[in-house]
Amino acid sequence: MTRTRTDRITWADLPGAVRDQIQDRTGRVRGSRPAGGDRSDITATLDTETGPVFIKGAREGIFARSLRHEARVTPHVAGIAPGLLWQVQTDGWTVLGLEHIAGRHADYSPGSPDLDLLRAAVLQFQDVPLPAHVTQGVERHYGGLDALAGDSLLHTDLHPDNVLITPGRAYIIDWAWACKGAAWAEPAMLAFRLMAAGHDIASAEAWGRSFPTWQDGEPLTAFIHANADSWRQAARRDPQPWKLRAADLARQWAAHHE
Ligand SMILES: Nc1ncnc2c1ncn2[C@@H]1O[C@H](COP(=O)(O)OP(=O)(O)O)[C@@H](O)[C@H]1O
Ligand SMILES: [Mg+2]
């Protein structure tokens, strides 16, 4: 379920005023390497006078607002997420500067050692008190399912490209879509990500069950069916191959819980 936008811009394409404000904070930018991602208009690692810095930015609009949301969540998940270094808002752009992590994307496939590191990182943020500004409920992505309502901090978008692996630990990045909800929703959503990475249903659920917040029973079954509905609608609206595949997996999971 990897999605990389192809219409991103590079460091050189950013307006001069934006580059100036960034260089006021980092010192001269000597080079840049574009990164992937699925929502920002620019993601890149900058090689600066003061060392490497990761930037993600967007023109004003829904993604810029989500970046400002991410900037407000990040201090609450210090040590789990890369640190926020600065934030620039100028010329219609919002750009975040983040601690650069020399890592690789996580591998969620069966037997991957990354899954233990992922569990440790998720367990850590399951204990973080809900930041006051995180007011949107995860249930809005699942047809308003009441069972998902709650007051825990949820990342909600833990696909493998939003997890960076370094020796011995996983960093959770991209908090742009952090929501509140029932704590068991995160391992339930992750179990589905594991299925997308090749786990069978039993193995994905067994992994999810290793979280103390996991809940079997009616609420989980309701989630599994809401997940299938939401992917079916997403694939109908925009039938890209990865969405069709996710919709099919979600349907199989729901069929298993008829
Ligand atoms: N702090 C970081 N250090 C190094 N690379 C990063 C960092 N944050 C993100 N990346 C890389 O950039 C990609 C996109 O970042 P992400 O925050 O997920 O942006 P988007 O919201 O556009 O998906 C990630 O998948 C990862 O490869
Ligand atoms: Mg991302």
Nearby residues for ligand 2 (ion, Cβ within 5 Å): 37, 162, 174
Name the strand (E) or helix (H) holding 187: helix 185-196
* Residue 141 CB less than 6 A away from ligand 1: no
Q: Give the pLDDT score at 37.
A: 84
Full strand arrangement of the beta sheet holding 163-166:
104-105, 163-166, 169-172
Average confidence score pLDDT of the chain: 96
CA distances from 85 to 4, 60, 96, 98, 99 (A): 25, 21, 8, 5, 6
Give per-residue pLDDT as tens, 218-236.
Answer: 999 999 999 999 999 999 9
Q: What is the mean pLDDT of residues 97-126?
A: 98
CA 127 – ligand 1 centroid, Å: 24
Q: What is the mean pLDDT of residues 209-213?
A: 97
Q: Give the pLDDT score at 225.
A: 98
Q: What is the mean pLDDT of residues 157-177?
A: 97
Q: Give the pLDDT score at 208.
A: 98
Per-residue pLDDT band for 251 (boundaries 50, 70, 90) equals: very high
Spatial distance between the Cα atoms of 33 and 128, rounded to a whole number of angstroms: 33
Residue type, 144: G
CA 95 – ligand 2 centroid, Å: 15
Q: Give the pLDDT score at 3.
A: 52
Ligand nearest to the CA of 172: 1
Backbone angles phi, psi at 109, to 5 degrees: -70, 160
* Residue 41 CB less than 6 A away from ligand 1: no
Domains of the chain plus CATH, in order, are 11-99 (3.30.200.20), 104-256 (3.90.1200.10)
pLDDT above 70 (res 2): no
